[in-house]
Amino acid sequence: MGQKKFNLNPNTQIYACPKCGQNTEFVAHSMQVAEDCCDIWIKCKCGYDPTAEQTGSRMEDVWGTLDKENILCSLDCCWNELIISNFPIT
């Protein structure tokens, strides 16, 4: 399993962590789950993982590379989607 810490500039595109309220410091994770498939997901610096109970919502990638493109895609398609579906803005 690989991991990579990363920081974002202050922004309004990434939903804030429901546990600690920040949206700029994260850790990307990658883990091989099959011979030719890896899961990629994002955790907040506080440890909150929106995919912990929904591992099927993690992004799939053949190589599991934690490059800028995969991290941004995982933030958008996994982090943001799970935050808004589990904690709807009212």
pTM, two decimal places: 0.92
Domain count, the chain: 1
Strand ranges of the sheet holding 25-34, from the earlier edge strand across to the other edge: 2-7, 25-34, 37-44, 59-61
What does the pLDDT read at residue 90? 57
In angstroms, the CA 25 to CA 67 distance is: 16
| 15: Cα separation from own chain's centroid | 11
How far is CA 22 from each of CA 14, 15, 19, 27, 80, rounded to the nearest angstrom?
A: 10, 8, 9, 13, 13
* Structure token digits, residue 83: 């935050």
Which helix (H) or strand (E) element contains residue 85?
helix 81-86
Q: What is the pLDDT of residues 4-53, one digit of tens each?
A: 999 999 999 999 999 999 999 999 999 999 999 999 999 999 999 999 99
- Which residue range(s) make up the domain with 73? 2-86
